Amino acid sequence: MVFCPFAAGYFLSFFFRNVNAIISKDLAAEFSLTPADLGFLTSMYLLAFAAFQLPLGVLLDRYGPRRVVAALLCSAAAGALVFALARELATLSIGRAFIGLGVSAGLMGAIKAFSLWFPLSRLATLNGLYLAFGGLGSLAATAPAEAVVEALGWRGMFYILSAMSLAAAVIVFFVVPEKPLPGQGATLRAQIAGFGRIFSTLAFWRIALPAVIGQGAYIALQGLWLGPWLYDVAGRQRHEVANYLLITALGYIAGSMFFGMVSDRLARAGISRLLVYKLGLGCSLAMLVPIAAGVHTGLGVILAVYSFTGISAALAYALLTPLFAPEMTGRVNTATNVLLFALSFTMQWAIGAVLKLYPIAEGRYAPAGYGAAFAVIAAIQLTAILWLLPMRTQPPRL
């Protein structure tokens, strides 16, 4: 009654986030979009998502996840309908932004609910299983989405997504039980001031930044640019692109379950989640480097390992939640998320802007442009990991 209703909305959140990688060429052809236009359009989801994270944290801590998530999913339903009806870039962008707003509580609402209903010692496992369910949405946004687009067109698919979003809102509202919230009675001003405490904590930044950069890169690639990269650099055909995106989605699902469950079990054996977090981030970066270099050999393995280890970044939520009081759970995690999706928006748009600087031949973007953009992202990710490495133990609650 707690896990499954939220998971239904989270499935849709991931589908919406990643489906443009499948329909990018359709949108570019129908609306005459440049690479920067396509990057901007797709990243409107991330911009709206990020912009609402801080207000969302206050709403979750003040009103609880059931009401907040259900209300927002109605916005996703409206956004999908607007997107399906769009006849120009501006309307597409508005629809995409409403979708991003509507699913912005998908993970944060669930983490808040888990912290209310389950012990913190199980939080990484629950988060991992939940992320795996979201990964099913990524999986559905690959070859299955391609099949739906072939049969119904991309507009028909978005009509169906609108109806599914509304159904998910109804399920969350009527099925999820209520539970008294810790910290009830706090003033709105005091709750907003809690963000100052979070953002002034050095341990928050050292733990959060590597996750934000690593997952931001993954979202920018899986959500849009990995698809065109497979066309333009790896020389793959449309059905092959869908299959490679399917591989990364499967890697994400497997990694979500692995890092969530294994980190909790190792923690009980005396091996810290922080160490698992560092190892996962390092492996993910090691796989991004050959992608940036345009390596084709063993591509399926590289992409599978990249997505499998990249989701280790989600351990940041389990590491950050115990740092602060229970009544601040919503704000702690949305503070991380606002950084994550603001950076994802920036990366997704910036990759398109970099590609625009290079020649476009027969609708294909230059491999050198991809290499330059991805190399900069890898360098930034390395810097954040190097700052995290000296931290040896989980910091105590503040």
For the stretch 71-100, pLDDT in tens is 999 999 999 999 999 999 999 999 999 999
Average pLDDT over residues 5-13: 94
Q: Is the pLDDT of residue 244 over 80?
A: yes
Residue 173: predicted pLDDT: 95
Residue 183: predicted pLDDT: 63
Residues of the chain with pLDDT > 70, as a percent, come to 98
Pick the closest to residue 55 from 160, 192, 176 (CA basis).
192
Least confident stretch, 74-78, 155-159, 182-186, 332-336:
182-186
- Give CA separation, 347 vs 368, 370, 373, in Å: 17, 12, 9
Could you tell me the pLDDT band of residue 215, with boundaries at 50, 70 and 90?
A: very high
- Give CA separation, 249 vs 218, 254, 282, in Å: 11, 9, 20
Residue 321: predicted pLDDT: 84
Residue 299: predicted pLDDT: 94
Residues of the chain with pLDDT > 90, as a percent, come to 48
Residue 230: predicted pLDDT: 93
Average pLDDT over residues 112-136: 84
Q: Is the pLDDT of residue 357 over 90?
A: yes
Neighbours of 37 (CB within 10 A): 18
Could you tell me the pLDDT band of residue 397, with boundaries at 50, 70 and 90?
A: low
Q: What is the pLDDT of residues 269-315, one digit of tens each?
A: 888 889 999 999 999 999 999 999 999 889 999 999 999 999 999 89
Residue bearing the bigger pLDDT, 84 or 122:
84
pTM of the predicted model, to two decimals?
0.77
Task: Decide: 315 and 273 in contact? Cβ < 8 Å.
Answer: yes
Q: Is the pLDDT of residue 120 over 80?
A: no
Could you tell me the pLDDT band of residue 253, with boundaries at 50, 70 and 90?
A: confident
3-state secondary structure the chain: CCHHHHHHHHHHHHHHHHCHHHHHHHHHHHHCCCHHHHHHHHHHHHHHHHHCHHHHHHHHHHHCHHHHHHHHHHHHHHHHHHHHHCCCHHHHHHHHHHHHHHCCCHHHHHHHHHHHHCCHHHHHHHHHHHHHHHHHHHHHCCHHHHHHHHHHHHHHHHHHHHHHHHHHHHHHHHHCCCCCCCCCCCCHHHHHHHHHHHHCCHHHHHHHHHHHHHHHHHHHHHHHHHHHHHHHCCCCCHHHHHHHHHHHHHHHHHHHHHHHHHHHHHHHCCCCHHHHHHHHHHHHHHHHHHHHCCCCCCHHHHHHHHHHHHHHHHHHHHHHHHHCCHHHHHHHHHHHHHHHHHHHHHHHHHHHHHHHCCCCECCECCHHHHHHHHHHHHHHHHHHHHHHCCCCCCCCCC
Could you tell me the pLDDT band of residue 185, with boundaries at 50, 70 and 90?
A: low
Residue 360: predicted pLDDT: 85
Q: Is the pLDDT of residue 398 over 70?
A: no
Average pLDDT over residues 41-67: 87
What would the two tokens of residue 120 be? 């913190």
Taken in order 344, 301, 282, 368, the sign of the CA dihedral is negative
- Give CA separation, 30 vs 33, 93, 256, in Å: 8, 15, 36
Task: Decide: 348 and 224 in contact? Cβ < 8 Å.
Answer: yes
Q: State the Cα–Cα distance between residues 111 and 114, nearest whole angstrom.
A: 5
Q: What is the pLDDT of residues 130-179, one digit of tens each?
A: 988 888 888 888 878 989 999 999 999 999 999 999 999 999 999 998 88
Q: Calculate the average pLDDT of the chain.
A: 89
Could you tell me the pLDDT band of residue 206, with boundaries at 50, 70 and 90?
A: very high
Q: State the Cα–Cα distance between residues 128 and 225, nearest whole angstrom.
A: 25
Q: What is the dihedral of CA 262, 268, 270, 274, to 10 degrees?
A: 50
